[in-house]
Amino acid sequence: MSPSAVAEAHTEARRRLAAAASLAARRAWLAIDRSGIQASWLQSLGSVLAVVSGAQLLAAQGTEPWLHGLLGDDPDRAESDRLNPAALAGVTGDGTLLAEALRIPMLTALRALTGGAPLVQAMARGQILLDVMVRTAVADAGRAADTVGMAARPAVTSYVRVVESGACSRCIVLAGREYAVSTGFLRHPRCHCGMEPVTREHKPAPSSPGRVVEAMSEEQRRKVFGAAGARAIAQGADVAQVVNARRGMATATAFGRSIAATSEGTVRGEFRRREFRRLQAEGAIPRSQSIRGFRPERARLMPEEIFRQAEDRAHAVRLLRLHGYLT
């Protein structure tokens, strides 16, 4: 399903809040007295906590106006079932107090120094972690508010994942998927995906990961999927197959040399099913045999290896189809 412009704007507003909070935290981090890292950061912690928790509160406060504008009033909702945005500020997505969590970047930098890392490198590690934690904390607070707000409305039966064109490949393959309201939101650190409610009257239009990819520039596609992956998708390869293949990516030996292969799809998936049918058609496997327990002996090539081997575009397409990237 495809998110509405209102849902996309809601997700984008939260992303900007997270970015602003991250920028403020980064400035505080860069101002640390490096001769006394711990004392200096603890002195700045109060102001950083205020900024981040304030951003969390704003993110959570945006839920009710968004839901009301999208769905209107829900007459079946109890008056007592109102979202409390303040309850979602000052804590991380896993329930840790934000004040405690914000100490971790400082401890990470100190551990790196103790381990012999140069000061610049140690501080950089702490800064990267701080950025991840702040952006994730703000996004999580907003998503938690959306989940609570939807759960309080009996008319909402499910939600659709809202994915922006700049999202990572793992999120893009989930674009448009519908989940029950009670289903937890799948996310990773710094994930800024959102959701849109589904009711009997409000049903987002159908969508797919392919539509998200279509909205991306060539540069974005190369950045997200890699040069070979982007090229495979441009030639018709299934987005999910290209993304999932990288989960088991490794170097294998075939044809007398090292190749880029993957274990993904050899235990289950389209590549395994195709190999099983092919071997049955060739008589190597009895027609009566079940696919249960079958695992292909042939390595599943990665897109980059396919393009390296292909003599021309037609050959590449055949190999992409053979290895399950084209369906």
Residues 151, 190, single domain; the answer is yes
Using CA atoms, how far residue 27 sits from 24, 32, 50, 284, in Å, is 5, 9, 14, 65
What's the pLDDT score for residue 268? 46
Residues 190, 303, single domain; the answer is no
Beta-carbon contacts of residue 9 (< 8 Å; ≥ 6 apart): none
Beta-carbon contacts of residue 90 (< 8 Å; ≥ 6 apart): 49, 53, 56, 97, 98, 99
Residues 66, 14, single domain; the answer is yes
Of 180, 209, 238, the domain-final residue:
209
Residues 22, 145, single domain; the answer is yes
**In the chain, how many domains are there?**
2
Residues 203, 296, single domain; the answer is no
What's the pLDDT score for residue 239? 80
Q: Give the span between the Cα atoms of 66 and 84, in whole angstroms.
A: 15
In a domain, 255, yes or no: yes
Of 209, 229, 248, the domain-final residue:
209
Are 171 and 193 spatial neighbours (Cβ–Cβ below 8 Å)? Answer: yes
Residues 161, 250, single domain; the answer is no
Of 209, 234, 257, the domain-final residue:
209
Mean pLDDT split into 10-residue runs, the chain, 327 residues: 71 91 97 95 96 96 89 74 82 85 96 95 96 93 85 85 76 82 76 84 77 82 83 80 58 43 48 71 77 64 67 72 62
Return the amino acid letter for 169.
S
The tokens of 39 are what?
């004392």
What's the pLDDT score for residue 266? 44
Report the candidate in 93, 92, 108 with the shortest Cα–Cα distance to residue 41: 108
User: Length of the chain in residues, anyone?
Assistant: 327
3 state SS of 247: helix
One-letter-per-residue 3-state SS of 64-110: HHHHHHHHCCCCCCCCCCCCCHHHHCCECCCCCEHHHHCCHHHHHHH
Residues 139, 236, single domain; the answer is no
Residues 276, 167, single domain; the answer is no
Residues 75, 202, single domain; the answer is yes
Q: Give the span between the Cα atoms of 54 and 214, in whole angstroms.
A: 36
Residues 93, 157, single domain; the answer is yes
Within the chain, residue ranges assigned H as helices are 5-30, 37-61, 63-71, 98-101, 104-114, 119-151, 169-172, 209-214, 218-234, 239-245, 270-281, 303-309, 313-322
Residues 84, 29, single domain; the answer is yes
Report the candidate in 295, 325, 290, 291 with the shortest Cα–Cα distance to residue 307: 325
Which strand (E) or helix (H) includes residue 167? Answer: none
The CA radius of gyration of the chain, in Å to the nearest whole number, is 24
Return the amino acid letter for 161.
R
Residues 80, 156, single domain; the answer is yes
In a domain, 138, yes or no: yes
In a domain, 65, yes or no: yes
Q: Give the span between the Cα atoms of 269 and 103, in whole angstroms.
A: 43
- Domain limits at 315? 217-322
In a domain, 327, yes or no: no
Using CA atoms, how far residue 152 sits from 75, 158, 250, in Å, is 11, 12, 46
Are 14 and 59 spatial neighbours (Cβ–Cβ below 8 Å)? Answer: yes
Report the candidate in 57, 55, 46, 143 with the shortest Cα–Cα distance to residue 93: 143
Phi, psi of 213 (to 5 degrees): -65, -40
